[in-house]
């Protein structure tokens, strides 16, 4: 039988593999004890941890399972107004008029394509002639490939941090939709995007640019709580507004360097168009808290509009940080 130290190391490795965390002292002591007493085996511990509800939740986690503020049509209009000055025009549609002299782009790169919704939409809008799209997840690449059917889209596995297999100066446009805030090597990722673009190419970029890993300041948290306290209880979030860092073990790159997205963008690109899309109040309060606001009734509409009004006021007066930003740039020469 293994000695106690080796048992602890092996069990800790199982926790790290299946639960993405270190074992608590009680759990570690329990498993070591029952193995030493001959009541359980290491293989039994491995099976128990791998089949636990916690492990299955991690295994089956998908970004698309969460509900965000922009799942509400009223919020979509709010963000549209901020980004294009027209509540009925999303910035993707705005490209057709604001950047019409570039349309169609010959070659477009989509970074972190996920299930491929963005390139399919751009293709249908005839914004580009050919698309390359990558993701680090084979699962998403398989799904996107299946959904793209006969569209002119090529998919491949790649890491946003290195983009080592992508040719320089190849693309007329790059689209980043909330991927850079996942980059652990944020400067290299931004630099590589500037390098794979042609000198006169454009990057279209909607990003989360709020505090890293949603670690809001005490003052910011206080303002969110005060605004939320004005809402009837049914519309208040039941989630912690400043999520514990332990929450990020399922998706450890979430907002890892989000506060550096804009500084890095400004370092490697000349900005030709940009708009703040706010979110310092409403985004976190509405995270996984949209069900009651989704109801088509006057009360729900009233309180959602109140929340967005406060979001706008506190953002415009620099009382809370900007959480979302839309920027278009061309590589610095």
**pLDDT tens string 149-205:** 999 999 999 999 999 999 999 999 999 999 999 999 999 999 999 999 999 999 999
Strands (E), the chain: 105-111, 128-135, 153-157, 171-177, 197-208, 269-276, 324-331
Q: The dihedral of CA 212, 206, 261, 313: what is its sign?
A: negative
Kindly give the pairing relationship between strand 197-208 and strand 324-331: antiparallel
- Is 141 a residue whose pLDDT tops 60? yes
Token code pair at residue 9:
């190391």
pTM of the full predicted structure? 0.81
The CATH number of the domain holding residue 251 is: 3.40.50.150
Q: Which two tokens stand for residue 40?
A: 């359980």
- Cα–Cα distance between 19 and 61 in angstroms, integer? 12
Helices (H) and strands (E) counted in the chain, each on its own, are 13, 7
For residue range 146-164, list pLDDT tens digits in order.
Answer: 999 999 999 999 999 999 9
Among 39, 59, 79, the domain-final residue is: 59
- Domain match, 129 and 34 both: no
Three-state SS for 130-151 is EEEEEECCHHHHHHHHHHHCCC
**Coil, strand or helix at 127:** coil
Tokens representing residue 46 in the block: 């491995």
Q: Which of 18-27, 100-109, 273-282, 291-300 has the lowest mean pLDDT?
A: 18-27
User: What total number of domains does the chain contain?
Assistant: 2
Range of the domain at 219: 64-331
Domain finish residue from 20, 44, 59: 59
As a dihedral over the C-alpha atoms of residue 60, residue 63, residue 68, residue 70, rounded to 10 degrees, the angle is -140
Question: In this structure, what token pair is assigned to residue 303?
Answer: 């309180």
Where is the domain boundary, 14, 36, 59? 59
């Amino acid at each position: 039988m293994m000695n106690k130290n080796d048992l602890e190391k092996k069990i800790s490795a199982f926790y790290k593999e299946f639960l993405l965390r270190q074992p608590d002292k009680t759990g570690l002591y329990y498993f070591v004890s029952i193995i030493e007493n001959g009541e359980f085996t290491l293989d039994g511990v491995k099976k128990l941890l791998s089949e636990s509800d916690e492990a299955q939740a991690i295994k089956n986690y998908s970004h698309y399972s969460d509900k965000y503020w922009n799942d509400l049509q009223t919020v979509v209009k709010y963000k549209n107004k901020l980004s294009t000055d027209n509540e009925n025009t999303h910035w993707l549609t705005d490209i057709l008029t604001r950047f019409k002299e570039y349309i169609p782009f010959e070659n477009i790169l989509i970074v972190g394509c996920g299930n491929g919704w963005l390139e399919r939409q751009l293709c249908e809008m005839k914004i580009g002639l050919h698309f390359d799209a990558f993701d680090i997840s084979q699962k998403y690449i398989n799904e996107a490939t299946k959904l793209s059917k006969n569209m002119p889209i090529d998919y491949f596995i790649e890491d946003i941090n290195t983009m080592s297999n992508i040719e320089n100066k190849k693309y007329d446009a790059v689209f980043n939709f909330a991927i850079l805030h996942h980059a652990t090597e944020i400067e290299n990722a931004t630099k590589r995007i500037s390098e794979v673009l042609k000198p006169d190419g454009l990057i279209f970029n909607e990003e989360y640019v709020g505090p890293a890993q949603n670690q809001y300041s005490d003052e910011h948290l206080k303002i969110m709580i005060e605004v939320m306290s004005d809402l009837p209880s049914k519309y208040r979030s039941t989630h912690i507004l400043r999520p514990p860092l332990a929450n990020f073990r399922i998706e450890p790159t979430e907002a890892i360097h989000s506060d550096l997205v804009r500084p890095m963008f400004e370092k490697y690109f000349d900005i030709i168009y940009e708009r703040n899309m706010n979110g310092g109040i409403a985004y976190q309060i509405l995270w996984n808290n949209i069900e009651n606001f989704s109801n088509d009734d006057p009360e729900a509409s009233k309180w959602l509009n109140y929340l967005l009004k406060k979001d706008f006021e506190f953002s415009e007066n620099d009382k809370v940080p900007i959480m979302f930003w839309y920027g278009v740039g061309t590589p610095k020469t």
